[in-house]
Amino acid sequence: MNAPRCLIAEDEPLLAAGLQADLAALWPELVVAAQVGDGASAVARALALQPEICFLDIRMPGLTGLEAAQELAEDWPEDTPFPLLVFVTAYDQYALAAFDAQAVDYLVKPVDQARLQACVSRLQTRLQTRLQTQVADRSAPPAGTAPMPDDTLAQTMNQLRALLSAAASTATQPPKLLDVVQAQVGNLVHLVAVAEVIYFEAADKYVRVITAEREHLIRMSLRELLPQLDPQRFWQIHRGTVVQARCITTARREESGKVTLTLARRSEKLTASRLYAHLFKGM
């Protein structure tokens, strides 16, 4: 077996060095494949290197640790096991402790030796179990092409979802729900009733607003827009897509765990990521 590899994402250089040193003492075989100081680099490096473990600081410039984990969950290649996640935070504002001993682990800074030891043991056990499942799969006669959707992945997704919604709910007082979207083109402002919108799609610093007939661009991030939409009517199905539920006609679950959606009055299909696939199930 190859030595397990990890990624450390931590914006404070001393803390990153400290964690690396502590890990080296407790788990000498673990290789630190990359050490990064911001969320976007964490996603890029993790996707490129595909380590088994990611230590993610929650408060980082660019993307937070939670947002980085969300991107990883959505973009992670299907044929590779999803990394084990350990969130690191100085102050547990999302009640990470409630997830104690679940799929996603957490460390509170300053990290004491005993707690890190417990975390390391848990990671080692999980890697071991994962390895055995893979071996068992390979030896089983009609080996499926897709890897078994193991329980840990489902658990990880559940936990990530809970954390992301906890993070969203700590945002300051909810703004009023939007009735009309105003999209400016030159001197002209188009007013689009929110009820007419089929879906919103993030496009860099903008959001594309798609109705049955046309599309508009608004100068706003999806993150700013989201709290102003009625969550009963507009469902987030991907970090970059929010769709009006009554415009969805069918949802097909793919082998990868993603869900493909067809829409009323639009020909294109949308994809719901693994994180949001749970929204679509028969009643």
Partner 1 sequence: MHTLSMNRPAPAHPAPTAFAAALQRVKRRLPRTVLLVGAICLVIALILTAIDGRGFAVKLIYSLSVGVACNTIVFAAMLLSGWSTDLLYRARGRPLPDQSNAGWLGVLPGALGAALFGPPLGLSLVDGITGFTSPSMLNLNSTGSRLTLLFSVLATLITIFVLQAQERLADARAQAEAAQRQAAENQLRLLQSQLEPHMLFNTLANLRVLIGMDPARAQAMLDRLIAFLRATLSASRTPQHPLATEFERVADYLALMDIRMGPRLQSRLDLPPALGQLVVPSLLLQPLVENAIKHGLEPKVQGGRVEVSARRDDDLLVLSVRDTGIGLAAAATAAAGQDGSHFGLAQARERLATLFGGRATLSLAEASDSEGGVLVTLRLPIEATSPTTAA
User: Is 173 among the residues that bind partner 1 (CB under 8 A)?
Assistant: no
Task: Give the strand order in the sheet containing 266-272.
Answer: 248-253, 259-263, 266-272
User: Is 11 among the residues that bind partner 1 (CB under 8 A)?
Assistant: yes
* Cα gap 119→53, rounded to integer Å: 12
Q: Among residues 28 and 142, whose Cβ is nearest to partner 1?
A: 28
Q: Which residues have a Cβ under 8 Å from the Cβ of 148 and sit 6 or more positions away?
A: 133, 137
Q: Which of 227, 271, 279, 280 binds partner 1 (CB under 8 A)?
A: 227
Closest CA to 118 of 105, 104, 132, 131: 105
* Minimum gap (Å) between residue 242 Cβ and partner 1: 16
Q: Which of 5, 37, 130, 260 binds partner 1 (CB under 8 A)?
A: 37
Choose the binding region for partner 1 from 134-142, 153-161, 164-172, 207-215 (rule: CB under 8 A). 164-172
Choose the binding region for partner 1 from 37-45, 129-137, 180-188, 268-276 (rule: CB under 8 A). 37-45
User: Is 91 among the residues that bind partner 1 (CB under 8 A)?
Assistant: yes
Q: Which of 3, 171, 212, 264 binds partner 1 (CB under 8 A)?
A: 171
Give the residues lining the site for partner 1 (CB under 8 A). Answer: 11-15, 17-18, 21, 37-38, 40, 59, 61-62, 64, 90-91, 93, 108-111, 167-168, 170-172, 221, 223-224, 227
